[in-house]
Amino acid sequence: MAQGILDSVNESALRERKRVASYRIGVGELAQFDMRLLRKLFRELSEGTPLEGAKISFELERSRLRCLGCGREMSFDDISGKLSKQEREMVHFLPELLNSCAKCPTCSRSYFEIEAGRSVRVMEIVFDE
């Protein structure tokens, strides 16, 4: 995953024919990644590449869920308080399990669509001028 993101940023630099000064990676809160480990991986994998020395930052993308019963939009935090520690951990590894262990605070249905917060993506690339 980290190598794929670095490849994508590098391809953008090659396409623009510019050096990357910095780039920002969005990490969804449901993606369950250790940010310190990601930072270390990105630094190590960029050594000896055109991205070496570029500033990297990570931004946590908050989750956004929508109840398909009543349409209420909420975050994972809005419903995670009623889940056991084991259920919260399971949802981080397989977010679709949310439908079997959580209920909408408004209509009590268990049918959610995860609209944001589960991906890892390049949010911004800044090139040297």
Residue pLDDT, tens place only, 2-12: 889 999 999 99
**Of residues 105, 122, 115, the one with CA closest to residue 70:** 105
Q: d(Cα 108, Cα 99) in Å, to the nearest integer?
A: 11
Tokens of 108: 């009590």
Domains of the chain by residue range:
2-62+117-127, 64-115
Instruction: Give the pLDDT score at 23.
Output: 95
Which pTM value belongs to this model? 0.75
Q: Which CATH number fits domain 2-62+117-127: 3.30.565.10, 3.30.2320.50, 3.30.420.40, 3.30.1360.30?
A: 3.30.2320.50
Tokens of 60: 């946590």
Instruction: Give the pLDDT score at 7.
Output: 93
Name 55's bridge partners: 22
Instruction: Give the pLDDT score at 93.
Output: 76
Instruction: Give the pLDDT score at 92.
Output: 74
Instruction: Give the pLDDT score at 36.
Output: 87
Query: pLDDT below 70 — which residues of the chain?
Result: none
Instruction: Give the pLDDT score at 67.
Output: 96
Instruction: Give the pLDDT score at 114.
Output: 92
Instruction: Give the pLDDT score at 123.
Output: 94
Q: d(Cα 78, Cα 17) in Å, to the nearest integer?
A: 45
